[in-house]
Structure formats: C-alpha cells, structure tokens
Chain A
Amino acid sequence: MIKAILIFNNHGKPRLIRFYQYFHQAAQDTSYCKAEDMQQQIIRETFHLVSKRDDNVCNFLEGGSLIGGSDYKLIYRHYATLYFVFCVDSSESELGILDLIQVFVETLDKCFENVCELDLIFHMDKVHYILQEVVMGGMVLETNMNEIVAQVEVQNRMEKSEGGLSAAPARAVSAVKNMNLPEIPRNINIGDINIKVPSLSPF
C-alpha cells in the first residue's frame, strides 16, 4: 500500500499532497493535533529527511517518526526543482515504485507538454486528476502510460464540452490578468530520464 504521496520543491513548499491514510496525532497527547497540522508536520519532516541527501545516494530511506517509522519506506526521486516522494509499506516493491514515479512524471510531462514546476503550482487540481488515474486509494491502479493519458484526455474533453470551470467570460478575464505575469520559465526538464534505474521492461 502507498500511504502518502508528497510533491514538494527544493525549499520544501508542497506542490501536491495526497494522503491515503488518516494521520493525526495520537489522542494521548493533550494538544490534539488536527489532520492538516499533522500533514504539514509530516511534509516538513519528510522534506528534512530527503533534502539533506545527495543526489547520488540511494532513493530509499526509512520513514520519519511521524509517518510511522521504519515500517514505512520513503521512496523518492528528485527532478530539477521537485521532489516526488512516495511513502509505502512493505508490500510494495521498491524498484517498482521508483518506476511508478517515473511513469507518473512522464505522464505529467505528456499531459502538460514539457511539465515544469509552474504547471504543478497553478494546476494542482489537474495533477490530482492525473494521479487519480495512476494510484487509487493507495493501490496502484494503472502503470501503462498511454492508458493513463487516454483516460485523462477523455475526461478533459468532457470537462471542455461542459464549458469547464472557467467558462468563457472568466477565461477572458484570466487572460487579461495573465498579461502582466513575469516571464514564466518553462521546463523543469525532466532531466535525465535515463537515470540508471532498472526499469520493468514491459509496462
């Protein structure tokens, strides 16, 4: 089972969080901790654990104390400015999850056409929708990238045919608002996709 999926940038700013288990402070502590605060703590802790690691060390480490300690593993990849961290239990294959992260990122790349951090910042909802086609309730749903992309696209088309959330007028306004945006740097460039990870051949 996947317990949580966290995406944050090099400064620990969350870009997407997806918890498949309800984490909250144990009630014994007098200061009862809300789920949101707990989630933020977990993000901080995870960021602390992951960010101090060099890029050339292994991609697995034992989970922090908040997320359940050594019963859980953090499996992560670092792409340009973003960390993709999956917290999993012992039923998942470590290398398999690494590949899954790769599939997920490549899917993002396809859906956003050269994905960069800004895409994730401004379209968190869309990233969630894509993720929902990959992992469901903590279990791997689909690993075939073409299938994932196809399903996402069908749903996007449906949304479009309904007029989308930001229907015509709002979009015009949004376009005006966009004009004075500073130059958006494109491309977090997925970097070397060829990071030598033994891949599961026939995905």
Chain B
Amino acid sequence: MALKIVKGSIDRMFDKNLQDLVRGIRNHKEDEAKYISTCIDEIKQELKQDNIAVKANAVCKLTYLQMLGYDVSWAAFNIVEVMSSSKFTYKRIGYLAASQCFHENTDVIMLTTNQIRKDLSSPNQYDTGVALTGLSCFVTPDLARDLANDIMTLMSHTKPYIRKKAVLIMYKVFLKYPESLRPAFPRLKEKLEDPDPGVQSAAVNVICELARRNPKNYLSLAPLFFKLMTSSTNNWVLIKIIKLFGALTPLEPRLGKKLIEPLTNLIHSTSAMSLLYECVNTVIAVLISLSSGMPNHSASIQLCVQKLRILIEDSDQNLKYLGLLAMSKILKTHPKSVQSHKDLILQCLDDKDESIRLRALDLLYGMVSKKNLMEIVKKLMIHVDKAEGTTYRDELLTKIIDICSQSNYQYITNFEWYISILVELTRLEGTRHGHLIASQMLDVAIRVKAIRVFAVAQMATLLDNAHLLTGNMQRNGICEVLYAAAWICGEFSEHLENPVQTLEAMLRPKVATLPGHIQAVYVQNAAKLFATILKNQEGNTDSTAAQETSQMMIDRLPLFVQSANLEVQERASCILQLVKYIQKLQQKDVEVAEEVSALFAGELNPVAPKAQKKVPVPEGLDLDAWINEPPSESESEDEQPKAIFTKEEPKHSRPRHTEVDEKELARRREARKQEQANNPFYIKASPSSQKVYQEAPGVEHIPVVQIDLSVPLKVPATTPSHPTGLPMSDQYVKLEEERRQKERAEKKKKEKKKRKEKRSGRGKKHDSGPESEEDITPAHVVDIVTEEMPENALPSDDDDKDPNDPHKALDIDLDKPLADSEKLPVRSHRAAGAPKSSAEDGEAENATPQEPKKKSSKEKRDKKKDKERDRKRSKEEKKKKKHKHEEKEEDLLGGQAEEPVVQSEETKEVEAQPTSTSAEVSDLDFWLSNAPVPSNTQEAATVAEAAPAPEAPAGTAADSEPEEPKDTETEESKSSKHKKKKQKKEKEEKEKKKKKKHHHHHHHSDGGGEESVQNGTVEEEEPLPPMSNYCLLAENSYIKMMMEDADQVCDIQGNLQDGSQVVVSVIFENKSDSFLKSMEFNVLDSLNSKLQRPEGSGPHDGLTVPFQLPPGVSNEARFVFTVQSIVMPQKLKGTLTFIVKNEDSSTHEKLDFKLHFTCTSYLITTPCYSDAFAKLLESGDLKSSSVRLEGVNMPFHHLLARICFHHHFSVVERIDSCASMYSRSIQGHHVCLLVKTSGQTVSIDAKCDEPTLLGNVLDEIKQTFSQC
C-alpha cells in the first residue's frame, strides 16, 4: 500500500498541473486546439487512476478548460468523486468545478445529496462554507427539498461565516423549492437582527430579493426595515433597504409619507454618492405613489431634481448617467420639473458617451409638448445624420417615432410634417427598423383621415423610387417601408393623382427582388389600383385606356406567377385570371368597373392590440379540448406547410442585422455610390429622394443635386416661397410656425376686441407670455379613428405577466400562520409514507427509492465505482442514523422554540400565531398611522433572541387594550400567550421537568436563594427564551430537594388596571407517589401587602387551593395581593398545608415559604415610543441615579435581553453599545434607563419620579448580573 502511494506521487511528478497546462497552451499558440485535445486525453487518463490527488489535479485543469469553452460535462462523475474527498484541498477543487459546470440537467447531481449533507454538517466550518458556495451555484429542486432543513439549521450556526452563507443560499432554495419559504421565513426574519453585520446584511439582501418580486407579502416587515434604516450605518444594507422601500411604497402610500423625512435627511447628510442616489430614487418612487399633492411635496421634488442636476453636471460620467436615469423616473409624474432642465438634457445629447446619449434620449421622450415637438425632432434628425454606428442611429430612429406617436399622437399638430419625417427616415442606410416606420405610416394613414391625400401622394413617390430602397436588400430592413407604401396606395387609391403611373411602378420587374411578403402586398394592391383605374377610365368615352391598363396587368403579372413565394404566386395567378376575364368583357364593351371595385369595397378599420385576447371565451367552450383526437405521430410532417404562412413575417422582422465597423461601412458606401452612378434610374429619380444627399458630405453628389432644385412634393400652395435647401420636413416646420403665428395674431386680435369690451371690468389681464399648450390647435381638424374593440371585450389588462417567472411561485402569504403540514422535509420524509416515529425503519427503506435508478444505469458501466459508492452510502447511512438520534435528543431538549421539525412545539406555534398575525397587521397600520404605537414590536425581537419574533406584537397589542378583566377565563381570549399558558401549562411543566434533567445549568435569578417564590414572568410578555424558563425552574429544583412531596413555582405579576394589586401564580407539582388534597395557601399579611381573601373570611384564614393533585401532576393557582406602597421590596411569610393520602394512611403536611415581592415585580413592561421617551426625559420631573456593573461578560444584546426579561423593561432605542429602556410601575411611575457598555463595564443611568423605587430596582438589576 505504502509502495503504491510512493509510486503514485512519483507518477505525479510527470503530470501537468494547472500552471503547466496554462504555460503549454501559451506556448502552442499556433495549434492550440490540437494541444488542448492531447491535454484532454491526458486528463482522461489521470481521471482513471485511483489516486484522488491526481484526479483533483485533473479536475482543476478541466475547470480551466471549461473557461476556454470546452465541454467538460463528461467528467461530471469524476468531479463528484473529487467533491467527496475528505481533504479540504481536493474538496474545494471539486466544488469549484461543480459550480462552474453543473446545472439543473446534470444527472449526477442526484448523487451529491448525501455528500453535500455530510459537508454541511462537517465540524470544519470551511468544509461547510465550500459546500454552501458550491451548492448556491447548482442547487436543483431536488437538492433544495432534501437539504432545506439542513441549511435552515445552519442559519443558527455559531460561526457568523456559516450563518451568512446559509442565509444567502436560502434565497436559491426558495427559488427552487417554494414550499420552504414559509417554514423558513421566521428564522430568516430573525437574522435581520443578527449581531454580526455580515449576517444581517445577508438577510437584508435575501429579503430584498424576495420582496422585489412580490412586494405585497413583505409589507408587514416595513416597520422592521424602517428601524434598520434609521439605525444602520452600513451603506450596503442601507442601499438595499432603501431600494426595497422603493418597491414597497407603491403598495402603501402611507409608508411613503413616513419615509420622506428620513430620506430627505439622508440626502442632505450622506457623503456617499451611491446612497444619495438610491435615496433620491426612492423619494421619487414615493412621490410617484402619492398622487395627491401634499404641501411640501414640491419641495421634495425640487430637492431631487436639484440634486440630480448636480449629478448630471458632474464631470464623472457615471454620475451623469445615473442622474439622467433617475431624472427619467421623475419625468413620468412631474414632467414640469424636468422640463426646466431641457437645456442640460439637450446638451447631453452631444455627449461623446453613447450610454449617456441614450439616457438623454429617454428623457426627451417625456419632455416634448405640442410646442417643442418639431424643434426637438428636428434636432434629433440632425443627430441621425451625424450618428456613427448603426445601433445608436437605430435607437435615435425608434426614439423619434416613440416621441411622435406617444399617447395617440397627442403632440403632433401637423401630420403632413410627420409623414414627411417618416419619409425622410426611410433614407437611413442599413436600419433594421423599417417595419417600425412602415407600421407608423400605415397607422397614420388609416387613422388620420384628413392626411390620406397627402400620405398617398408621398407613398406614390416612395414606390416610384423603390429601387433606391432595394439597393442591397439582404441587409436593408428599410424595404419594409414599401409594404406600407404599396398598401396605402392601393387601399386609398381614389386619392392618387396619377394612378396609372403608380400601377406601373408597382409592377416593375425589379419588384420581384423584394421579400415575398412585400411582393404579395404589391400584387394585391395592384389589383385594387387596377379597380380604381378602371372606374376612372370607364367614365371616359375612350375605352382603349382601360384596355391598355388591363393589358399591362396581363403583361406584368406572369412575373409574379412564377414567384417562388407561395403567397405571391397564388395571389398573382388568381388576379391574372381575373384580369384576363375582365379584358374579355372589356373587349365586348361590357362595363365591369363597378363589379371589380366591389371586390375591394368596404373600409378596413384598425383593431386594438390584444383585441382578440380580450374576447371572453364563451361558456361551455373548452379551447384545450381536441376537436378531433389527433392520430398518431405519422401526420406530424403535414404540419410543415402551415409554418410557411405563419412564420413568414417574423422571419423578416427579426433583427438580422450584424454590427458593421467603420471600414466596412465606408466600403459599402463606396460600393453604393458606384452602383448609383451606374444605375440608369438614378438620375431620373424624383428629386425628393436626392434631397437627403444635399446634407451628406461627398462632393460627387453636388452636381446631381443641383440638376433639380424644385421642391419635391406638393407643399400647400399658400406658401410659395420657401428656402429650397431645407429638407422637406423643415419646410413644414416653417409652415407650421407661420400658421401658428397667424393664429396667435388672430387670437390676439380677438382678445383685444374682447378686452376693449371688457375694459371697464376687472382691469388688465396678463398677456399670456409664451403660448401655452392649449393655444396650439392642430393644422387641420384631425380625425383620429380610434381602434376597434370587439363588442364584449374584457377590460382587464392583466395578461402581461410571464407565466415562467420563477418568482411567481414565491408569491406566498407569509403572515398566515404555519399549518401543521408545512414544514421542511426531514430526511425520513423521503420514504413516502414512512411514519415519522419509526424513523429507523424509514431510513432503511429510504435509501433505496432514490438511488436504484441511478444505480442500474451505471452498474453496467462501472462496477468498481458502484462498489465504492455502496461503501460510501452505507457509511453515510450509519451517520444518518446517528444523526437522527441526535436530532431526537434535541427534540427532547427542546432545541429552538421555533424548530419546525419539532412537532410538539409546532402545534403550539400554530395555536399561538393566529392572534399574533392579526396583531401584526394592525400593528403595521398603527405604525403607519403615526399613532403613539408600542414601539417595542421590533425590540421584542432583539430582546428575546430565541423568541419567535412574530408573536411579540401579540403581547403588546393586548397590553394596550385598556380593560383587562380579572377573570382569567376571558383573559384567555385576549392574549395568545395566556391561552397557551393556560392550556399547556401542565404539559409544559412536565416537559420542562424532563428537560431540566438534562440542563443542570445554574442561572441567576433575582429571588433569594431559599425562597420558594420566583419573580420573573409577566404573563402578557412575549414568550421568553426557553433557557430562561428553565432557569426559573432550575432554581426551584433546589427547593425540590428540600421538600419531598410538593413543589411550587410562582410568578408575581403586577396588575395593570388596579394600581395596588399584584397577582401571584403558583404552580404546584406533586413529586411524590401519594395523592395530595385539601391544600391551603396562607400568608401572614403585612401592613403593606395583604392577600385578598373572599368576603367573610378572617384576616388569618388560608385560601383553599381549588384542586387536588394526583401523583406527578402539577397545576397552577393564582392569588391576588393588595399592595399599598411599591417603592420597597417586600417579603411575606407563608405556609402551605395539605394532606398526603396514601393507600393506608393520610398525613397532614406543612410547607413554609417566603414570598419575595421585588420592586421589579411591580414594574410592567410598557412599550414607549422614542419621541415620548425624549419628552419624558426633558420634562425634568425625574430624579436620576446611576449604577456601574463590573465584569459583565456577555454580549450587549444579551444584557439587554436580561434586563428586559427579568426586570420588565422594553428597549426604546438602541444605538451600537448604548440603549435606552423604559418601564412603568403598576402605580404609574416612569422608569427610564440608559445602558451603556464598554468592555466589561456596564453603566446604567436611570431616571424615575420615585427615587426609592429606582434605587431598589437598580440594586436588583445589579444583583441579577452579579449572579451570572
């Protein structure tokens, strides 16, 4: 064996390691692929060896090759082998490789479950860490389900390093296994207040990711996050939280109101730009969510805009970019505030940075108005001409169209101008947005009736110049425009000036080079045109013209009949036959025009997008049901032809464009010029198309342009003089301006008249300086046809969600109480139906169902490996069993109160939660409504670390209820805790007793050593950390030893309503084998404190305990005391008398005890709002006192928890190592503490309106900590 190892390591000397591989690749630059393939062969050899070190080395090299793009999935099994090495070095290599190349479909992942589980529970935190990191990259639904519980346990690991990783990975687990979200959420929430900032940040991170997708489920966390936001100093955390609030505010405007102030403060105070930027962003989100104008909103907006302007003006391009980005958000709701910065934004359009230009373009979109639209678009058109690189130019093009068409062409006053802009845009080279322009043309022409004449004329020109557009067709998306042009000319052919010429243009042989779907439209519309022409010509006496047209059709159409495109062919042959028939009729002098045009009668109306979707499915119609059952697969080939029709169009609209660099562009331009020069059509072209080149640089074009200086298109005759050098659209701008001026002048005249009439009235009005939006009326009455909707369309618009979004599954209500069935699967659950109790049986069966499949497939291939695996598995199973035992033990010990695995605990939780959730919801309302709300909802969680946070508010909510009846039965309904305690007390006590046997901790308590009475729990309090509960009892076990047959636990609790009442709850437990009965409880009253006895009984009579105790049973009784003064602690002596009944005898027994009423037992945990707290301190009525505690060796939050727990305080505010706390006595004394810690010294400054009480409370606190 040893020899083998030595041999192995000698062999290894000649293996390449990663560095050698890299070096080799670098030395073989010419034949890299060949070199790598030999390396891969070597790696394959290495992977076959037994030595794990060799394998690991090989896998490491594979990881590198994967980066270079080589598929290494064939080595997946070897990677798993390396992952399962016991050495950290190799394990790490294995997990790295797995995280790089495993994914959901990697089948060997199934084999890793147990290995990962083993690593997760490894004593070495780095093994765990490596496993978590790896798992985060390749977690599958199966892994998530199987490991969720293990990971959840890790969230409470002692090492923050593991905790933070476990918290982060939970997000991935949730995504893959949404059922785990609810069981795991309480603990995740707990982690928001983890003492380690890294863990806290991780938890914030995860919750923010979750909340971003389904914000409404996380609204109830808003108070907690708000608290974090105001207390955290970690900018990462702050940014995340602020971003989260940005997502929450749209759902809850009240939240926004609350946020504005702290956010504005942050904006003013922070020096971190990233934080500032996110604050501004969230303020914007808030302002958007608050639709109604609150008074100081304009101030906030102004602040934001002003800060953003600073960002945009900054020389740092990054800030400029972000500034513009945020500005565009403001734009949506407050366009006015942004519009004032138009100068700045237009300036950004000239920036050398494309990203910034694009952002500025976005902004322009919202800044247009009727007034400045033309001006802005003109500027953009100049940019289009100047633009380098097609991406940016295409972006400009889409923006121009977006800007113009937004909100139903709201800002367009002159559609002639718009059409000419569109026509100008068709001259862009190599754009891929031809279809966009085309659809705009169609849309405008169809919907704006008044523009049709103009549009048709323009389109006719376009068709005439079609050869320009088809220059190099393959790359030229612009030919799509011809689709629109042909259709418009055909559909509205009655407006055509010279239909015959257009028809001729549409039937040119060159058309056959156009894409099929365009040809099809050409053919169809040629027929429409033909019908119109016939109609015109038949009116004339000369019938030859009509016959000539028919002849032209017959001559030209056969070209299309031969088309390879099915659609073109079909239409062409159909129309050809039709025309032939018409010709025949014409030769017989039959009037056909009427009938032919009847073919195309009727108007085509635009249909609203999604109209089809919105038609409700008629009742009883199942769209998914087969009409005819599909025959077997044999027919699948028949479906092919279908695709030809449906896929045709998308094919062309798909961006087929490839990036072209400058050189290539230049080359192409040259080629095009050549082509144009040789093109016989070029010179004949309509001048309008040449206009564009006037502006383009290039000397060759000048003479061409100068041949024709006439204005290309019919500009309305009213303006005969216009500068010839301008592009067409500019002429319309001019015209429009003139028109507006005229209008204005007219208006002024009218106004003057009016004013003259009104002179005597109110005096002068302001001259309306710059014209306002409403003043501009569109050039001609534009009748915008609205889109048609089916009659019974549904108004809903919620069909936009992507059904494949993984986050959809995470849309889970987190406030609902956990149901019994909801828990993370523990291993034994894998065996379907295996009962939990028989865990070990389940285990044995369990191992099988998952793996046999795997095994059988692999078995044939590799028996050796299989054996190995078997060995591993059996080992793991042993481990599992062992682990299982541990878990069981844990259950007994109670573990964490929230552990959902522990069934007994869970049922309790279920019971407890209903009230708590409702309380929580109302709590959010309280919080949002700015009422003086119990602020300790959050503190409660800090205070009792292990206590389930969601229950906390229940207590406080109940507390704030003014009347709390003494009757205990009704109390049950009030407080969940009560209920729980009442019903479960007995059981709980027993449990605790059992637990006690395991826990022989000695913990502090504030009662005296010998007393049978223990102060501590106020019953309305939140559930206490289980540890402390034990310690109360542990204290009592002491008594147990002294007493043989009875055991008492006692709670002393102040009664809120009656300033002089204290309730003492005593639990009696029978520890003997005998029956206890006739118990009498008696106390020697003092002057100050008296036991309340039923009316008619004497001052020394005892109270009968209302129950008997069989062996081993415990029960609780409550006794009420009246107290006069509460400033001093009290001790009352008492006796319990009872009869012990055996089978043969019965004896009378007596037990003495001392009831210790500490001053803290008169305090009631009362939440206090920080402002109220500050007021209280300022009022000056309080006397102060202070105390120092030395050598306190516990974390600060533990310290606070102790004070809260044992002395009934609540935390008002905590900042780092300093906290303010508050409590109130049953007689209404305020007690305020300021606790500071440095090192092991804790100093407590306290204020109270009753100095004696305060002194005693402080003494008691001191005592508490001296005992620990």
Q: Which residues of A contact B (CB under 8 A)?
A: 1, 14, 16-18, 20, 22, 34-37, 39-40, 48, 53-54, 56-62, 91, 93-96, 98-99, 121-125, 128-129, 132, 136-144, 147, 151, 154-155, 158-159, 162-167, 169-170, 172-174, 177, 181, 196-203
Shortest Cβ distance from B316 into A: residue: A196
Top 3 A-B pairs, shortest CB-CB distance: A137-B136, A198-B273, A95-B274
Q: List B184-225 residues whose CB lies under 8 Å from chain A.
A: 198, 201-202, 205-206, 208-209, 212
Of the A-B pairs whose beta carbons lie under 8 Å apart in the complex, a sample of 8, sorted by A's number, is A57-B356, A139-B209, A165-B90, A167-B53, A174-B20, A198-B272, A198-B274, A200-B275
Write out the residue numbers on chain B whose beta carbons fall within 8 Å of the beta carbon of A60. 318, 321-322, 355
Determine if A155 and B164 form an interchain contact, defined as CB atoms under 8 angstroms apart: no
Interface string of B315-352 (1 = CB under 8 A from A): 01111111000000000000000000000000000001
Residues A136 and B136 in contact in the complex (CB < 8 Å), given A40-B69, A56-B317, A93-B239:
yes
Instruction: From the candidates A36, A143, A158, name the one contacting B88 in the complex (CB within 8 A).
Output: A158
Write out the residue numbers on chain B whose beta carbons fall within 8 Å of the beta carbon of A128. 63, 96
Determine if A58 and B356 form an interchain contact, defined as CB atoms under 8 angstroms apart: yes
Could you tell me the distance in whole angstroms from the C-beta of B538 to the nearest C-beta in chain A? 52
Residues A93 and B278 in contact in the complex (CB < 8 Å), given A58-B320, A125-B93, A155-B126:
yes
Write out the residue numbers on chain A whose beta carbons fall within 8 Å of the beta carbon of B89. 158-159, 162-165
Write out the residue numbers on chain B whose beta carbons fall within 8 Å of the beta carbon of A162. 87-89
Q: Mostly helix, strand, loop or mixed at chain A's interface?
A: mixed
Q: Which bucket holds chain B's interface residue count? A: 35 or more
Residues A125 and B60 in contact in the complex (CB < 8 Å), given A95-B318, A99-B274, A174-B17:
yes
Could you tell me the distance in whole angstroms from the C-beta of A138 to the nearest C-beta in chain B? 8
Say whether B13 faces chain A, with CB atoms less than 8 Å apart: yes
Could you tell me the distance in whole angstroms from the C-beta of A203 to the nearest C-beta in chain B? 8
Say whether B1265 faces chain A, with CB atoms less than 8 Å apart: no
Say whether B659 faces chain A, with CB atoms less than 8 Å apart: yes
Q: List B217-275 residues whose CB lies under 8 Å from chain A.
A: 233-236, 239, 243, 271-275
Could you tell me the distance in whole angstroms from the C-beta of B104 to the nearest C-beta in chain A? 7
Say whether B709 faces chain A, with CB atoms less than 8 Å apart: no
Shortest Cβ distance from A196 into B: residue: B316
Residues A124 and B64 in contact in the complex (CB < 8 Å), given A93-B239, A170-B17:
yes
Write out the residue numbers on chain B whose beta carbons fall within 8 Å of the beta carbon of A37. 69
Shortest Cβ distance from B315 into A: residue: A196
Could you tell me the distance in whole angstroms from the C-beta of A61 to the nearest C-beta in chain B? 5
Say whether B71 faces chain A, with CB atoms less than 8 Å apart: yes
Determine if B318 and A140 form an interchain contact, defined as CB atoms under 8 angstroms apart: no
Could you tell me the distance in whole angstroms from the C-beta of B137 to the nearest C-beta in chain A? 6
Docked pose: A40 CA to B69 CA in angstroms: 6
Determine if A35 and B17 form an interchain contact, defined as CB atoms under 8 angstroms apart: no
Write out the residue numbers on chain A whose beta carbons fall within 8 Å of the beta carbon of B317. 56-59
Determine if B206 and A57 form an interchain contact, defined as CB atoms under 8 angstroms apart: no
Could you tell me the distance in whole angstroms from the C-beta of A55 to the nearest C-beta in chain B? 10
Determine if A14 and B88 form an interchain contact, defined as CB atoms under 8 angstroms apart: no
Shortest Cβ distance from B71 into A: residue: A36
Q: Which residues of B contact A (CB under 8 A)?
A: 9-10, 12-15, 17-20, 22-23, 26, 53, 56-57, 60, 63-64, 66-72, 87-90, 92-93, 96, 100-101, 103-104, 126, 132-133, 136-137, 161, 164-165, 168-169, 171-172, 198, 201-202, 205-206, 208-209, 212, 233-236, 239, 243, 271-275, 277-278, 316-322, 352-356, 358, 659
Shortest Cβ distance from B87 into A: residue: A162
Shortest Cβ distance from B102 into A: residue: A22
Shortest Cβ distance from B92 into A: residue: A129
Docked pose: A191 CA to B275 CA in angstroms: 26
In the complex, given contacts A36-B70, A136-B169, A155-B126, what are 17 additional A-B residue pairs having Cβ atoms less than 8 angstroms apart?
A34-B71, A53-B354, A60-B322, A91-B209, A125-B64, A125-B96, A128-B96, A136-B168, A155-B92, A165-B53, A165-B56, A165-B60, A170-B9, A198-B274, A198-B316, A201-B272, A202-B235
Write out the residue numbers on chain A whose beta carbons fall within 8 Å of the beta carbon of B205. 139-140
Determine if B235 and A200 form an interchain contact, defined as CB atoms under 8 angstroms apart: yes
Determine if A125 and B18 form an interchain contact, defined as CB atoms under 8 angstroms apart: yes
Could you tell me the distance in whole angstroms from the C-beta of A1 to the nearest C-beta in chain B? 7
Docked pose: A106 CA to B854 CA in angstroms: 46
Determine if B67 and A14 form an interchain contact, defined as CB atoms under 8 angstroms apart: yes
Determine if B169 and A95 form an interchain contact, defined as CB atoms under 8 angstroms apart: no
Docked pose: A170 CA to B16 CA in angstroms: 9
Residues A93 and B69 in contact in the complex (CB < 8 Å), given A58-B318, A125-B96, A139-B206:
no
Could you tell me the distance in whole angstroms from the C-beta of A179 to the nearest C-beta in chain B? 12
Could you tell me the distance in whole angstroms from the C-beta of B204 to the nearest C-beta in chain A? 11
Docked pose: A144 CA to B197 CA in angstroms: 10
Write out the residue numbers on chain B whose beta carbons fall within 8 Å of the beta carbon of A40. 69
Docked pose: A170 CA to B12 CA in angstroms: 7
Docked pose: A189 CA to B374 CA in angstroms: 51
Write out the residue numbers on chain B whose beta carbons fall within 8 Å of the beta carbon of A94. 274, 277, 318, 322
Docked pose: A163 CA to B5 CA in angstroms: 14
Instruction: From the candidates B272, B318, B356, B659, name the one contacting A200 in the complex (CB within 8 A).
Output: B272
Docked pose: A22 CA to B138 CA in angstroms: 9
Instruction: From the candidates B70, B169, B198, B318, name the one contacting A147 in the complex (CB within 8 A).
Output: B198
Docked pose: A13 CA to B169 CA in angstroms: 31
Instruction: From the candidates A95, A122, A142, A164, name the one contacting B19 in the complex (CB within 8 A).
Output: A122
Determine if A198 and B319 form an interchain contact, defined as CB atoms under 8 angstroms apart: yes
Write out the residue numbers on chain A whose beta carbons fall within 8 Å of the beta carbon of B353. 53-54, 57-58
Determine if A169 and B12 form an interchain contact, defined as CB atoms under 8 angstroms apart: yes
Determine if B66 and A36 form an interchain contact, defined as CB atoms under 8 angstroms apart: yes
Determine if A36 and B69 form an interchain contact, defined as CB atoms under 8 angstroms apart: yes
Determine if A159 and B88 form an interchain contact, defined as CB atoms under 8 angstroms apart: yes
Write out the residue numbers on chain A whose beta carbons fall within 8 Å of the beta carbon of B19. 122-123, 174
Docked pose: A158 CA to B88 CA in angstroms: 7
Docked pose: A162 CA to B52 CA in angstroms: 13
Determine if B206 and A141 form an interchain contact, defined as CB atoms under 8 angstroms apart: no
Could you tell me the distance in whole angstroms from the C-beta of A73 to the nearest C-beta in chain B? 10
Docked pose: A166 CA to B15 CA in angstroms: 10
